[in-house]
Amino acid sequence: MYGCDYFKIHYSVYYYYICSHKKIELKKEVLDKGFIEVLDKLGTDLTVVNSARVSFGKRKEKFDDNDRKLVKFLAKNKHWSPFRHLMVQFHVKAPEFVMRQWYKHVVGIETSSSSSAKDHAWNEISGRYVPVSDFYVPSNWRRQSQDNKQASEGSIDDQKIASDIFETAMSDILGSYEKLLEAGVAKEQARMILPLNQYTEVYWTASFQAIMNFIELRDEATAQWEIREYAIAMKELMHEIFPEITGIWFEVNSH
């Protein structure tokens, strides 16, 4: 299972054979047109324990029960630096309003070694260069929460009227956007009328700890449903590429 042995992953409709020292190809469809794809990674389950043991001049070649105990100790006692040696690069396609929430995990970068909001790289597709063509269409129109001003719950009774209003608005907006482009207006200006359900794409590279911080904050009951779907998909991916470390992390930090 470890080292450079091949193992099969059943992941949605995708089947891949991956090697711990070779490029990983994993992809998860999210929402109606979005996805998360793992483009690359640095490290294996052994990376965390070897990074911790370097203080004693030791290095392991096979993950065992002693390593599991060490990882639990590190996570429980908040010794975060060994976890930052694991890095993952994701390609994410998500609605703009999801990305704006996601980006909050990047703008908090600072230099303190104790922060979980560090170790990021973020590059995004530009509407100045590429015309916007994909838009998120909800499959369920939720009610405003009665006890949380920023949250939603359940479903409204008349789904059709909400869908009709949405479709009419989108048709008018997209028609106007196309007319502006046809009139010669620059894409960087024409895009100003586009709504937050437009899909955008980013490359996000982050450390294991930073990724866990994102999942813990966004895969919980008060998170918006759409971004929670991405957090759940990312959690599944992390269990695939770093099974031991991810499993222990959530075992220690489960509430």
Instruction: Show Cβ contacts of residue 76 under 8 Å, excluding neighbours closer than 6 positions.
Output: 252
Q: Say how far apart CA 94 and CA 151 lie, in whole Å.
A: 19
How confident is the model over 224-252, as pLDDT tens digits? 999 999 999 999 999 999 999 999 999 99
* C-alpha triplet 199, 216, 103: angle, nearest 5°: 35
Q: Say how far apart CA 20 and CA 43 lie, in whole Å.
A: 8
Q: Count CB atoms within 10 A of the CB of residue 215.
A: 21
The rounded mean pLDDT for the chain is: 87
Q: Is 124 helix (H, G, I), strand (E, B) or coil?
A: strand
Q: According to the model, what pLDDT value does residue 18 have?
A: 44
Averaged pLDDT, 209-215: 93
Residues composing the chain: 255
How confident is the model over 66-118, as pLDDT tens digits? 999 999 999 999 999 999 999 999 999 999 999 999 988 775 554 444 555 45
Q: According to the model, what pLDDT value does residue 120 have?
A: 77
Q: According to the model, what pLDDT value does residue 147 have?
A: 86
- Percent of the chain at pLDDT > 70 equals 85
CA 245 to chain centroid: 18
Nearest to 111 by CA among 102, 101, 123, 119: 119
Which has more pLDDT, 153 or 110?
A: 153
User: What string of DSSP letters covers 73-91?
Assistant: HHHHTT--GGGGG-EEEEE
Q: According to the model, what pLDDT value does residue 1 have?
A: 36
Q: According to the model, what pLDDT value does residue 25 have?
A: 59
Looking at domain 7-131+198-253, its CATH class is alpha beta
Could you give the residue ranges of the DSSP H alpha helices within 25-84? 45-53, 65-76
Residue of 53, 143, 218, 228 with catalytic role: 218
Q: According to the model, what pLDDT value does residue 118 have?
A: 56
Instruction: Show Cβ contacts of residue 157 under 8 Å, excluding neighbours closer than 6 positions.
Output: none
Q: pLDDT class for 5, splitting at 50, 70, 90?
A: very low
How confident is the model over 159-200, as pLDDT tens digits? 999 999 999 999 999 999 999 999 999 999 999 999 999 999
| One-letter amino acid of 144 | Q
Q: Say how far apart CA 252 and CA 166 lie, in whole Å.
A: 43
Q: pLDDT class for 149, splitting at 50, 70, 90?
A: confident
Q: Strand pairing of 199-207 and 87-95?
A: antiparallel
Q: Is 13 helix (H, G, I), strand (E, B) or coil?
A: coil
Nearest to 98 by CA among 202, 191, 172: 202
User: 101 forms bridges with which residues in the sheet?
Assistant: none
Report the b/e string of 110-123 with b at 16+ CB within 10 A. eeeeeebbbbbebe
Q: Is 59 a catalytic residue?
A: no
Q: What's the pTM value of the predicted model, to 2 decimals?
A: 0.86
How confident is the model over 13-72, as pLDDT tens digits? 333 334 444 555 599 999 999 999 999 999 999 999 999 999 888 898 999 999 999 999
Domain boundaries, the chain: 7-131+198-253, 143-193
What crossing angle do the helices spanning 65-76 and 243-253 adopt, rounded to 10°?
40
Q: According to the model, what pLDDT value does residue 11 have?
A: 35
